[in-house]
Structure 1
Amino acid sequence: MWIPPQNVSNTGPIDRMAPPVSFCRAALAVAIVTVSLSCQFAKLADADTWIDRNTETENAWRQGDQQPHLRVVSQQRRHGVGDTAPDVERIEYVCPPGASAWFWRPVPPAAVIEELQIAVEIHLAEAPVQLAVEIELPRAIDPDTGRPRRLVVRPLESQAWRQSYPAHALELKQADLPRGLQRALRMQALSTAQREMLDGRGAYVVAVGLAAAGAPVPRAFEIREVRLEGRIAPQQYLTDQDAAVPAQASIADAPPTKPLGGRLIGTRVELTAQAFRVDDRDYFARIRRWRNESPERLIALGFNTVWLEKAPTADRLAEFGSRGLRVICPTPADPAGLGDTASAVLAWILPGEVAAAELDSRLVETQRLRSLPEPLQRPILAHPVGDYAAWSRVADGLLIEGQGSRVPGPPWFAERLRKIQAETAPGTPLLAVVALDVDLAVQRQLDALLGDGVAPAWLPPSDIDADIDGALSVGVCGIAFSSTEGLDSPEAAASLATESLASANERLRLIEPWLLGRRDGGFDPARTVYQRDGAELRLRQPTHNRAPALDDSSPTDRTSGYRLSPAGIRPVTSAAIPAASATDDLLFTGDPRVVQSLARYLTPRAPAASERLLRQARLAQENTDSLDTAQRLALRRQLEAADLARARGDHFVCYETATDVLRRVQQAGDERRRLTFAKPYDARQSCPLALLPTTLNEHFRLMQLLAAAPRGLNRLHGGSFEDIDELRRFGWRNENANNNAEEAPAVEIAASSPIHGAHRLRLVGQDSYQGRSARIVSPPIPIAAGELLEITGWVQVEREQSRSAAGLLLTDSLGGPELSLLIGPTANYEPFRLIRGATDSTELTIEFEVIGVARVDIDGVMVRPVTLPTGLAASPGERRR
């Protein structure tokens, strides 16, 4: 069945799904009983693990008081050899039927926080057993004894009793203990004459108990291990008033100051191809590249991890760790000086963006990190800008930017990740870095054309969602969200970005159990399937994916399909599956308990999820220029219908209606962006104003002005490619990623079929996975501040292999990768055009690179200034930000 969250983050909704439990008899059984505890006083930075595996000789479990009916027949610790005969504490007892035999084990005081996980591993239970915890309330003092009161909290589930049969693994869980504690406090209040509820603030666990069912004949159970993970000592967060009263035990014999046996160990972090593992629990990282936002702001937006670009201080780690946030950061000069706050570190990252030239020096640094003491051992991440194969053998995982052209629309992030997967060492963990705004090069271009400081920076939510969907279709162990600006901006565009970001993180939290499971479906992003314990999740079809839609079949005849969203779960018919797959994640399962667990989890969260998406839909509708009057009125009616659904409590319908509004706004924006590549311009072109829906009006105005604007003289020498020696003298460079002359791709001057003059340039690309793409770079061209430039030319692309991706990638130093122009196979010569502006005096270079296995002919390349005012500010109210 689907299980609510047990994540180490205080915002993570899901840890894992447990399969249905069937009971059968055999020889040996292992039972793990896990309790999730939560409290607002978390101090994760100082968390550790306490574990007792019965290596001591003295018994640790003790009979509870006031049990005259209980008789302990025998109790002893048995020491085995190896895993097949572990050390156990065996208890044999006799207790009347209908009564319970209570046994308690004192543990180090542990603050009640969500990260705390208590586990008792049982190897044999001849009668049903139940786990409970004893919690001390430091603010509730008993007037008769002067000591803090204590409460025993049992599981909320009605079937919390479990019996361990031989050779069958059994897992008992006591989740959502804060709610159980509140229930216990209410029951305590009802049992008193004053009906006054005790103060539960600052509560902490002092003992773990097992209740065994009574039986007329002797029964036994064997305990192998007691574990406290994510333990925080209470004195680290209690006030002086709270700590004034010492902890006292309420079991028969008061526990000693130091609990019997056991040892403290630090936080353990591993990194696999699917996910991080923190203290043996899977952890899908939702990462924010920090831009001075407060921890509370990041938690509200659904993040569980912070990426720091500079080595942190102990205070900085404590600031994030105390609020349940993990940290990815460079290693300080003295890591030991971080002390216990290093427990908040999820991974060390090599500082900055690393290049191939730094391999040797960074290899020395990684060796130093791997030699750190065990409490400081963490996975090592790198953020490379190329040579991914080499870096995958240096670091444990790679952060991959979504670098690539956003022309004519959102980048194909999934294709980029797949290429890097093919290039890196098998099983290399990848973390996707999704941009929330345009890069600095695009920002400067927008400033040059619109006027400094008035250009929008945030990407539309549809582009961000497309990158997320692409990353999930490939399979990543975390997603990092990056932007130049912080998420605290009051602008409408920033508000829309943050609302969409919160919705995206909410969805990631919901589907997290499957993201940590097994991924099927090959490389078809339209059929990305994750399997987890018999339940199948089909991710929604990526917004910009043009592959065939999902089929309308269930995995088996015994499964049912459901539409899954943060606002609820609803059945879906086979006929409706293709349409639903465009907007919803689809769940297929034959176990009704999975659906029931999901419904219980989503019910209290649905109102906030639907309200957030409704706000996002309103902002999107109000801040787009892509809608005509009729479309805008229709969407306003839909928003009113969504608001009515929310008012009557139908949050699923509200969420679905708001989703449809967002989809229609996106479709209108995409349609206008496609118009930028239609006639009368009739050229494959890259213009910064065509990148974002909010600047399309300015783009069309600029195109009209360019049609009649005069051009200056061509400034690019050698663009007609008539003589190879002349190109060398002018400064053209033949740059190939592989210096082996025998394998180097061809760059030549050919005489056949030129479009201009007597010759043209021919580039022949080979396998780009092996770094053998043909590449040539123009000489630098001086550019004055305030100039508007038009880069034009002719290109013909012939694909050499029918099944391979092939084309010519044009990148200039002013526009950068996001404004690069990718030209696929063409029937004949076709024109291309790049529009660029300059905010400062600089130099312009143009790079021509063949992608894949292709033959590319280039001719008639020119760089000319255009006499045109660069200020294109919109009229009031015309462009909404």
Structure 2
Amino acid sequence: MVKLKTFSLLKFIFQNAAWNWIAVCLGIFLGGAGGLEAVLQNAAAQNYAPFSAAEVQELAQSRPVQVPEGDYFMDDFESSSPSWLEFEKDCTAELTLRMRQQGEAFSGKGYEYLQVVCRSEGSKIYLAYPIPPKKVNAALSVQTVLSSNRSGIELLGRVVLPYTVDPVSGKAFCLYVSNRSATTAIRSWQKLTLQNVEREMMSEVRRIQRERKDIQFDLREAYLDHVVLNVYSGMVTVDVFVDRLEVSGSAAGTAFRPLSVPAPSSSGARNVSQENMRDFPPVTHEEAPAPELAKTAALPLPDEAAQTPAVQTPAVQTPAVQTPAASDGRVVQESAGSGASQKHQVALLNGVVLIDEKPIFVRAIRYSGEKLEFLANLGFNTVWLPEFPTYEMEAEARLQNIWFICPMPLKWDQAGDYEEALLKSGKLRNRSLDRVIAWDLGIPPGFNDIQQMAPEFREMTALALVRRHLEKIRKISEDVLPRRPSLCFPHKEFAEYSDFCDILVLDRSPMNSTHNFVDYGLWMRQMNNLAVNRQLIFAKIPSQFSPILKAQWRQIALGIRNSSHDRALDPEEPGVVPDALPFEQIRLMAFNALIAGSRGLFFDSTSRLDAPDEETVFRRKALSLVNLEFLVLEQWISRGSSFTTIASDHDNVAGGILATPYVRLMIPMYIEEDGQYVNGPGAERQVKFMVRGMPDTYGCWNYSLSGLSPIRTIRRVGGVEIELEELPLLSTVVMTQNMKIISSITQRILLYAPLLAQRMLELAEMRLEKYLRSYGADRLQGNDAMWFERAKNYLQAAEKALQTKEYADAFMLAQRAMRPICFLEKRAWKERGKNFPSPNFQPAGVAFRSQKLHEKWRNAIQEFEPGPNLFTSGNFEEPVRFKADGWINFRLYPEKPGIVVRANIRQEAAHTGNFGIEMGVLTNNKKRGPVILDSAPLTIRSPKVYVGPPGTVYQVDVWLNIPKKLRNTVDGVKVTDTNSGDVLAERIMQTDGWQKISFQRIVCSDQPVAVQISITGFGIAYLDDVSIRPLRETPAMERSE
């Protein structure tokens, strides 16, 4: 009876919206356990007045939510004010009731109750929860718990694209993303999740692009600002109970700085309901059409222009326009839209670099003072500058269709406003910077660099310092500085840097090291996977031997010349201290980086490419040929993504597949053992591949300079078998069903075939000449003379084929001419190094071109004997002296979840005596541990000791015991010293009991030397008896005794 009277009273009260809150609470209180059910039944029968827009805005601004610091947001719905808003709908529906209640919640006691009455057919009724803006990335996720009287309630998120204009509303374009996570049960709590918001955003953008051509998407600084529920379930009343909302995986978007445009005059349906949504900043859009991006012309080198006809594609030339100068000296470009300092639009979309909406595969070269026309003729489309380009360089770049990557003239610890500092520096005077496509942040500062900064920065980490630096750069007005992607060179914490840097450059070379090409490709793929936001990965490709390596060689040559062994030895002679890397290794590394997921290449050059010396001529011809090969396929590799790796029936042959729209490119390569030191012949016959996942309608074509020729395929269980009759060092197989693509690739091959054949022939000629000088004509006897004669015959045949314009034959014969030379070099290198524990034992033993020096040095020091150990506690027998003497252990992951790092002096780790060091990196959850670590979790560093003046030879000995192969690493235990660095490091994955690791080096400076032992993967290694001993020449009297 009490309940009936109560609800009669409530029926009257409900007609007055001002009493809604009191009535509901009173009904629940008087109704006891059945109060909630009664309120729901009664509410369904009533026609409540909807909340006004003013009420909604007032409630949204006053809602108490929990906003913890960092990348995590959570509301447990324990407060009293409701948060969900009526947002967007395509049917007649009303949010008639919303309130916070206490009761049988999923967690805690509170939840939010929402009731929606639908009176017509439709597909969506969106209720939204405003959250602090969260940057969209692959780690961003949303989770909530809800219960409802209807199934099919779906969780979505609203993503704002602040730099994409909605042609209808004139504001930032918004879209909804979803994992199709919806309720399946009725009246029971159920978790709904929205994961990988970035992937869903990309998918939705592609869908919209197919339907609407009037939207120019720019995904920079996209952020999630609303969690949305689609509660449409037909013409019914829907009751929803929401509890515990969590958003994690992205830093709060506090630095969004979109530009502004006037709203267009056209009217129409808006993208989202404007009445019930929070304002977000307006956007800008470049309305003026940008000049078409033309491919860089591949021209012959300046010194060969008379011999080879120029093959050139038409390039759009943008004439320089005289523009008035501002009072501060900046060039003020005249434009109808935004400042013309951003004449070209640069965007990153789906792992592709877009310039004016056209994809580009970046082939950059470090600038050393050459003319831009010269670099463009070598096939480079981007120049990597040490500072802002000059006005003259910008004008020339427009003519040559060259782009720039350059750093900011700002220090890491720059104080004050960056924009003001730039204007005061005068660096912007007479510069438009419209040809810049990325800002180079450089290598993050190290610990010593940070300690030299102002006091307020000394407690900051390098990661925090770079993030601060980049955020301040992004705050610079676009009228002053074009908004461009950021680019940095991290050596560790790749995942963390990928959260805010747009492009990561991987600076690691396998050349002349214990890190082989197979490990390099695996490491590149793993670093690519570590990128949280699937950032673009560029690879740095060296064209010269490492400066550390050349310093060792030069010091060895000086030592030999200063002694009585060979006074005629010249350290500046290329035959003694070579400069240019072999062409095959540059080519292999570039294509290895491509199939590992790199979307751009930075070719490093520490000296001018237009110098006339033989080493530089060889280097620029090699770089020109590699660029030409990429230029032929640029249209497809610029859009492609690494699809999979693929093995063959030959041990030394493997490759990868790039997936692009409508075509797949398979790039098989001959990767020989120890090829990072000296590459062998690099050729196989009758090579078979099993390709999985290739559509039935696809055909296969083999790439050659005569065009694309069909390859016979056999479909077998598990895939399609492809057989290549002959595989040179590397090849390309095109898989597609689109004959237009086949025709387009063939046309590009025929366009560049003369230059490709000419370059390969020139490289073969120089290769034969260099071998003859290095090895010596007097040694060419017996089989060696036969092999060299065969190379000469192939070379002569290639010259004849080029004269008759048989470019495919000339290209192949020139490659065959180099194979006997590669065979002879590999055999001689192995023969000379067989008496050493590893190629890295002596610095001159890591390349064939340094074998002349290696032989002389080996003869010079064969009478040397080791002196005393400079480490007084290298046997670790006195644990108390370990730290006192200066031994240090660096732990880079001391608090990383799932990783346990330990370094202990233990009796079980002893090789001799009583104690040794146990180094361990373990995971307490093998299923959730990291796949690979981007840097060594633990490093043991010895005290720094003075070995001797420059020219002193010394030997390092380390005893290691690695019982089980280390997991999730390509480096194992890395042993090196501060004098020779990683390029000459020894890498050991597993040992058979205790093993002695030794290497000899020569002092190159007056700095003290320390030995470093790092464990880079999961497992345990034991370390003992570390020594560093100077080598001294035994006196003649002692030798005679």
TM-score by length of 1: 0.66
**Pair 1:281–1:109, CA change in 2 (3 A):** closer
CA distance in 2, matches of 1:759, 1:657: 61
Change (3 A) 1:236 1:629: farther
Alpha carbons of structure 1 residues 273 and 468: separation in structure 2 relative to 1, 3 Å: farther
Counterpart for residue 165 of structure 1: none
Alignment of 1:556-635 (within 5 A): 556=695, 558-565=697-704, 568-574=707-713, 576-577=723-724, 579-580=726-727, 582-624=729-771, 625=774, 628-635=784-791
Secondary structure, aligned partner of 1:551:
strand
Q: Could you say which residue in structure 1 is the equivalent of 2:432?
A: 341
Instruction: Report the residue type matching 1:538 in the other structure.
Output: M
Post-superposition offset of 1:383 = 2.1
Return the alpha-carbon distance in structure 1 between the equivalents of residues 373 and 705 of structure 2. 21
**What is the one-letter code of the residue matched to 1:769?**
L
- AA of the residue aligned to 2:1027: M
- SS in structure 2 opposite 1:714? coil
Once the 2 structures are TM-superposed, how far is the Cα of residue 415 of structure 1 from its aligned partner? Answer: 3.0
2:621 corresponds to which of 488, 499, 503 = 499
Partner of 1:308: 385
Q: How does 1:271-420 map to 2 (within 5 A)?
A: 271-272=348-349, 274-332=351-409, 333-334=422-423, 337=428, 341-351=432-442, 353-355=444-446, 357-374=461-478, 376-403=482-509, 406-408=512-514, 410=516, 412-420=519-527
Post-superposition Cα deviations, 1:194-219, rounded to whole Å, max 9, x if no partner, equal xxxxxxxxxxxxxxxxxxxxxxxxxx
Change (3 A) 1:822 1:664: farther
Which deviates more, 803-812 or 842-851? 803-812
Fraction of identical pairs, as percent? 18
Partner in structure 2 of residue 756 of structure 1: 912
CA shift in 2, pair 1:572/1:662, >3 Å: farther
Give the C-alpha shift of residue 572 in structure 1. Answer: 3.7
CA contact (8 A) 2:933 2:969 kept: no
Report if aligned partners of 1:507, 1:565 keep a CA contact under 8 Å in 2.
no
Q: CA separation in 2, counterparts of 1:489 and 1:443?
A: 19
Letter in 2 for 1:392: S
Shift of 1:601: 2.5
Q: Secondary structure at the match of 2:433?
A: helix
CA offsets per residue over residues 681-700 of structure 1, 9 Å max, x none?
34574322122221123324
Q: State the 1:301 CA deviation.
A: 1.0
Which residue of structure 1 aligns with residue 940 of structure 2? 776
Which amino acid in 2 is paired with 1:788? V
Closer, same or farther: CA 231–511 of 1 in aligned 2, 3 Å: closer
Identify the residue that residue 437 of structure 1 maps to in structure 2: 544
**Matching of residue 543 in structure 1 with residue 692 in structure 2:** no
User: What is the 5 A alignment of 1:481-520?
Assistant: 481-520=603-642
Structure 1 residues 346 and 653: alpha-carbon distance in aligned structure 2, compared to 1, 3 A threshold: same
Conserved? CA contact 2:955–2:1029, under 8 Å: yes
Partner Cα separation in structure 2 for residue 473 and residue 262 of structure 1? 39
- Counterpart contact for 1:308–1:330, Cα < 8 Å: yes
Question: Contact 2:345 / 2:355 at 8 angstroms: preserved in 1?
Answer: yes
Structure 1 window deviating more from structure 2 (647-656 vs 691-700): it is: 691-700
Question: What displacement does 1:818 show?
Answer: 0.9
* Cα offset, 1:54, TM superposition: 15
Alignment partner, residue 126 of structure 1: none
Alpha-carbon distance between aligned partners in 1 of 2:902 and 2:338, rounded to the nearest angstrom: 68
What does residue 867 of structure 2 align with? Answer: 712
CA contact (8 A) 2:966 2:1020 kept: no
Is 2:602 the partner of 1:480? yes
Local SS of the residue matching 1:745: strand
* Residues 974 and 986, structure 2, Cα contact 8 Å, conserved in 1: yes
1:532 to 656, 660, 663: 660
Shift of 1:780: 0.6
| Cα 1:426–1:566 shift into 2, 3 Å | farther
Asked if the contact 1:405/1:821 (under 8 Å) is kept, the reply is no
Alpha-carbon displacement from aligned partner over 1:65-106 (angstroms, at most 9, x marks no partner): xxxxxxxxxxxxxx673699xxxxxxxxxxxxxxxxxxxxxx
Change in Cα spacing, 1:814 to 1:235, as seen in structure 2 (3 Å) is closer
Q: Matches of 1:281 and 1:639 in 2, distance apart?
A: 40
CA contact (8 A) 2:318 2:399 kept: no
Deviations, residues 90-146 of structure 1 (Å, cap 9, x unaligned): xxxxxxxxxxxxxxxxx9999999489xxxxxxxxxxxxxxxxxxxxxxxxxxxxxx
Deviation at 1:659, TM superposition (A): 2.3
**Counterpart-to-counterpart distance in 2, 1:29 and 1:347:** 29
1:822 aligns with 2:979: no
The structure 2 residue matched to 1:738, chosen from 884, 893, 897, is: 893
Shift of 1:712: 2.0
1:659 alignment partner AA: Q
> Which residue identity is paired with 1:406?
N
Counterpart position of 2:11 = none
Q: Which amino acid in 1 is paired with 2:408?
A: T
| Structure 1, 582-591 or 784-793: larger mean CA deviation | 582-591
The answer to whether the 8 Å contact 1:431/1:478 transfers is yes
Distance 1:55 1:686 in 2: 70
Compare 822-831 and 328-337 and name the one that shifted more. 328-337
1:591 offset after TM fit, Å? Answer: 3.3
2:795 paired with 1:648: no
Residue 453 (structure 1) aligns with: 572
- Matched with 1:120 is none
Maintained 8 Å contact 1:348/1:381:
yes
Measured after TM superposition, the shift of residue 318 of structure 1 is: 3.1
| CA distance, structure 2, for counterparts of residue 580 and residue 438 of structure 1 | 28
Q: 1:269 to 1:566 in 2, by over 3 A?
A: farther
Residue 428 (structure 1) shift: 1.4
Q: Secondary structure at the match of 2:1008?
A: strand
One-letter amino acid matched to 2:660: R
Shift of 1:448: 0.9
**How much has 1:292 moved relative to structure 2?**
1.4
CA distance in structure 2 between the aligned counterparts of 1:505 and 1:609, rounded to whole angstroms: 10
Query: How far apart in 1 are the matches of 2:336 and 2:864?
Result: 87
Scaled by the length of structure 2, the TM-score of the pair is 0.57
Superimposed CA distance per residue, residues 491-539 of structure 1 (whole angstroms, 9 cap, x where no aligned partner): 3232222111111111111122222334354355834212333222101
**Does the 8 Å CA contact 1:326/1:345 hold for their aligned counterparts?**
yes
CA contact (8 A) 1:797 1:825 kept: yes
- What SS is found at the alignment partner of 2:545? coil
Aligned with 1:343: secondary structure?
A: coil
Distance 1:644 1:82, change over 3 A: farther
Structure 1 unaligned regions, length at least 5: 1-26, 33-52, 57-78, 85-106, 117-175, 180-229, 238-257, 870-881
- Does the 8 Å contact 1:563/1:587 carry over to 2? yes
**Which whole-Å CA distance do the structure 2 matches of 1:851 and 1:308 have between them?**
34
Q: Which of 522, 534, 539 in structure 2 is aligned with 1:427?
A: 534
Quick check: which has more Rg, 1 or 2? 2
Residues 868, 695 of structure 1: CA spacing in aligned structure 2 closer, same or farther, 3 A cutoff? farther
Pair 676,31 (structure 1): closer, same or farther in 2 beyond 3 Å: farther
Three-state SS of the structure 1 residue aligned to 2:870 is coil
Equivalents in 1 of 2:767, 2:1004: separation in Å? 30
